[in-house]
């Protein structure tokens, strides 16, 4: 996907219009598609199921101008076709992790935890709170928590996902840099 492509409210509205003419039904359909995509990726052993589901949705949205009026059939099936492509790309770029000795595992895990604590402390209070709230809960409670958080911040749910993704990516980079500094 084009790295410069950014999801806009207009693009998201176009997706909802493509899914159903009734905005409420379209929103429910969107949530159901996203939930199913996450389940598909989880069942196939993807550690980043939510990110892959969001990537799938973003790719469909970016292609709407080309397929919107011409596509016939069930729009959900189109998502699943794109998800298969995203899954193949994920599996291709995922590199197998070499097994570590158990003593190395515990030392590395301890160091990773220290680095994570250090990097979380470097986040702004706002970003730290957003990340903690974003990953709270399980299942339906997690979905409701995220909806409430998006409403509280006055942004769309997809914008919240993007914001959380960017914070998490920065946090991951910080942890990796910390581990390099400590020789882990």
- Please write the tens of the pLDDT for every residue from 139-168: 888 888 899 999 999 999 899 999 999 999
- Predicted confidence (pLDDT) at residue 183 exceeds the cutoff of 80: no
- ∠ CA 170-116-41 to the nearest 5 degrees? 65
When mean pLDDT is compared over 7-11, 66-70, 112-116, the highest value belongs to: 112-116
For the segment 117-135, what is each residue's pLDDT rounded down to a tens digit?
A: 999 999 999 999 998 889 8
For the segment 14-42, what is each residue's pLDDT rounded down to a tens digit?
A: 888 888 889 999 999 999 999 999 999 99
Q: Are 19 and 26 in contact (CB under 8 A)?
A: yes
- Predicted confidence (pLDDT) at residue 5 exceeds the cutoff of 80: no
Per-residue pLDDT, 36? 94
Span 100-113, average pLDDT: 75
Q: Which residues of 144-178 are buried (b: 16+ CB within 10 A; e: fewer)?
A: ebbeebbeeeeebbbbbbbbbeebeeebeebbeeb
Span 96-112, average pLDDT: 70
For the segment 42-71, what is each residue's pLDDT rounded down to a tens digit?
A: 998 888 899 999 999 999 888 887 776 677
Q: Structure tokens of 174?
A: 């910080």
Q: Are 68 and 16 in contact (CB under 8 A)?
A: no
pLDDT bracket for residue 82 (50, 70, 90): very high
């Amino acid at each position: 996907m084009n790295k410069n492509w950014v999801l806009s409210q207009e693009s998201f509205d176009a997706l909802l219009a493509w899914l159903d003419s009734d905005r409420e039904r379209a929103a429910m359909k969107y949530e159901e598609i996203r939930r199913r995509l996450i389940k598909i990726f989880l069942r196939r052993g993807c550690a980043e199921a939510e990110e892959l589901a969001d990537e799938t949705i973003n790719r469909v949205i970016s292609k709407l101008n080309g397929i919107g009026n011409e596509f016939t059939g069930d729009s959900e099936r189109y998502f699943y076709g794109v998800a298969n492509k995203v899954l193949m790309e994920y599996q291709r770029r995922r590199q197998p992790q070499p097994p570590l000795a158990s003593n190395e595992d515990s030392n590395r895990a301890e160091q990773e935890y220290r680095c994570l604590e250090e990097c979380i402390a470097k986040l702004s209070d706002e970003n730290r709170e957003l990340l903690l709230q974003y990953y709270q809960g399980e299942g339906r409670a997690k979905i409701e928590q995220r909806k409430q958080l998006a409403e509280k911040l006055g942004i769309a749910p997809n914008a919240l996902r993007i914001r959380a993704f960017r914070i998490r990516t920065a946090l991951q980079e910080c942890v990796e840099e910390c581990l390099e500094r400590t020789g882990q």
